[in-house]
Structure 1
Amino acid sequence: MKVRELICDPLDIWVCRAELEEFSGQRLDASVMAALKAKLGTGLPYWPSRDWLTGGAIIARERIAVIPEGDEWVALWHPESWPSGVVSTDGPAMTGPTALIAAMRCYVASKYGDEVPA
């Protein structure tokens, strides 16, 4: 499936997968569970493409710029001149109907490329 088409639950699932990638193959012991809770927070449901508390933290940490463009939002991965004005980017750029959707698509694309398994 194309990342630019992900929305709602499928997008949030892929964001979660990207967030948890570093824990792949590890045994879920107390230290890993503590690290998971610290990374994802304790707020449920986990909706980074719909909740600024969760998605905003990812945007800030990953240095994703989000810019309004007409009726859509454009998200740029690690823009060259962050935070004052955007000139270019070395990574993916995605669009979406909201800033959070565009940014989370950009984050997923930065980890997996333009397509993910359906």
Structure 2
Amino acid sequence: MNVNQLSHEQLDYWVARARCIALTPAAEGAGYLYTPQPGLAPRRWAPSRYWSRGGPIIEAAHIDLNWDWESSGQWSASMDPDINTQGGTMLEAAMRAYVISQLGDEVG
């Protein structure tokens, strides 16, 4: 599937795959959980929606964020070399750029 067409949950899953993070489905059936360190309780994994998860990825990967790239009304994220993505939020655009940088335009 094309990374630019992934829903939030699908995008979160592929970010975890790119970072080699083991996930388990959340009990309520929406989203995923991960264990940050042995001995800690599982926490929700949603880097495309939570800054506490996506922010460190943006910083470490040096992802550039801009509003309304080419008058699209969306956020854009860019990375070297020549990765440009869009999303309804900064996190969504950034996580798309990150997945593409690690796994390519097509996943699954």
**TM bin (shorter chain):** 0.7 to 0.9
- The gaps in structure 2 that reach 5 residues or longer are 23-34
Q: Which has the larger radius of gyration?
A: 1
Q: Which has the higher helix share?
A: 1
- Normalized per residue, the structure richer in strand is 2
Between the aligned partners of 2:12 and 2:66, the Cα distance in structure 1 is: 21
In structure 2, what is the equivalent of residue 111 of structure 1? Answer: 102
Superposed CA deviations along residues 48-93 of structure 1, whole A, max 9, x for unmatched, are 0000011001000000011001420110014xxxxxxxxxxx2411
Partner of 1:99: 90
Question: TM-score of the superposition, structure 1-length normalised?
Answer: 0.69
List alignment gaps of at least 5 residues for structure 1: 24-35, 79-89
- RMSD over aligned CA atoms reads 2.2
Same amino acid, percent of matched pairs: 37
1:65 and 1:111 map into 2 onto residues whose CA distance is 16
* Deviant stretches of 4+, over 4 Å: none
The structure showing larger relative contact order (alpha-carbon pairs under 8 Å, at least 6 residues apart) is 1
Task: Sort the Cα spacing of 1:76 and 1:42 in 2 relative to 1 into closer, same or farther, 3 A.
Answer: farther
1:5 aligned residue: 5
